[in-house]
Chains A and B, each alone.
Chain A
Amino acid sequence: MSDFILETKNLTKEFKGFAAVTDVNLRVRRGYIHALIGPNGAGKTTVFNLLTKFHTPTSGTISFNGVDITRERAADIALRGVVRSFQISAVFPHLTPLENVRVALQRKLGTAYHFWKPASTLHRLNDRAMELLDAVGLSDAAGVPTVELSYGRKRALEIATTLALEPELILLDEPTQGMGAEDVGRITALVKRVSTGRTILMVEHNLKVVSTLAGRVTVLQRGAILAEGSYDEVSGDPRVMEAYMGSAHA
């Protein structure tokens, strides 16, 4: 197996003539936490949506574990082991946390289309669901309506749901966005914990989080890759400083 779990070749996306992303060659090494950073409008979210198949690339290819997934459906890459999160916490607000996690678990049962079976056939997934909730510190809230959880806990629930699919590659879209300092610390620790044995690619604004977590960093600017390397290499790069600050000496 190749060292790179996810690779893109000349990935390009144009929206009605405007090139949001041009010729991005991204390589995500297996087992690393890889961060995608860049100033506003650099195309991070577009790249992210291309990788997760929520957008179709204008040209270029994406391969996962050496398999070309450029033309696959968003729902199908989840079956291959690629699961994404969203900028705004992606939970099912009117289901309980237990049910949230179970929605992810139940696909394996193969009864997702069975409308004639009682929902109680899902109860055998409860133990596994509780384990997952426990892992993110939510076992005390398993039965309350998800809408009532705090923002940080919703994000934790989202991670538990993602883990339920046992993904090889997790794509996190700004996991700490909109959080207070306390929650940021908790989620950072959680991401670190779940990264064992997995690869994580994340888009993140908070450079402190990036410096704590990421083994590899790719900097995007104006839809193209500006620099790539470890956090220290990248943060010392004058071009990166200029992109962020406006000039190298600021």
Chain B
Amino acid sequence: MNRYIWLILFALGLAAPFAVYPVFLMKLLCFGLFACTFNLLLGYAGLLSFGHAAFFGGAAYVTGYLVKNSGLTPELGVLAGTLCAGILGFVFGSLAIRRQGIYFAMITLALAQIVYFVALKAPFTGGEDGLQDIPRGMLFGVIDLGKVYAVGGKSLELNLYYFVFAVFCLGFWLICRTINSPFGQVLKAIRENEPRAVSLGYRVERFKLMAFVISAALAGTAGATKALVFQLASLTDANWHTSGEVVLMTLLGGLGTILGPLVGAFTVVTLHSELSSAGSWVTVIIGFTFVVCVLLFRRGVVGELARLLKKSL
């Protein structure tokens, strides 16, 4: 894709907090990254995980707990959350990868429910209340992420925003790189024709497992960052609704496109927040949007756009 488009998007990301409420932007970035990790798995490796909330939520709890109780700095907290999500991904992946299609999805869902149950019942997770008042802390022990700047009558959490933006960019870059790497090339070959990839001498389980671990770890990064932004790790993060939502975001934006999941995540999160006054009608409206999109844009918004422009986006 065009270098200039990336530069423009990057500049927009830098300027955005001066125009839009930063906490909302950070939510967009966290869910955007989350949807991208899911897309890496389904769009490029052909694996439908229905338990991605376990990595997102699991990492949120781990980071929240460590930052709150062990006094870890935020960057180390996020790193710890990522690592734990990666390890969890390895366990899930090793168990599920032998099955395909719907069975794979069911196993990931079942395992994710176990994580949810632990989050609900374990003594250190705060049960129904979740982990509250997670401190944002000092980045590298120097920069205060909780600092609020007063710019033009608005109070902006700029330090935190740029930290989240940097984490997002790093995660997003890593996903793009994975897709466009020698590894990604084999992954696409496996998605296209698994028996052929086997006959060419590739042990497909290993490739799938590795993709699963990368995806899980980065989903953890997204969840860990989210915990710092909202100072909260809650049951919603680990709930199967969240696993379902990320599927919806990815399909809405365009499966197997680089920008699609971002567009999808931004749409769903924006709808949720704009329509929050509508109460439980939100679900109905989002459901309706989804049905319309599936009927009109089978490839998702970005997928259709890419087809019109004959480019891969």
Contacts and interface: CB of A to CB of B under 8 A. Distances in A.
Contact of B180 (A91, A113, A118): A118
Interface stretch (B146-154, B190-198, B290-298): B190-198
Interface residues of B, number: 28
Contact of A75 (B178, B182, B201): B201
Interface string A68-104: 0000011110110001111000111111000100111
B181 A92 contact: no
Interface in B152-188: 174, 177-178, 180-186, 188
Contact of A119 (B182, B192, B195, B210): B182
A54 interface: yes
Nearest to A76: B201
Contacts of B184: 115, 119
B118 interface: no
Contacts of A107: 200-202
B105 interface: no
Interface string B67-101: 00000000000000000000000000000000000
Which bracket fits the contact residues of A? Answer: 35 or more
Contact of A112 (B193, B202, B214): B202
A124 B196 CA distance: 23
Contacts of A249: none
Contacts of A103: 185-186, 189, 197, 200
B181 A116 contact: yes
Contacts of A75: 198-199, 201-204
Contacts of B210: 113, 115
B177 A165 contact: no
B201 A79 contact: yes
A8 interface: no
Contact of B192 (A83, A92, A109, A121): A92
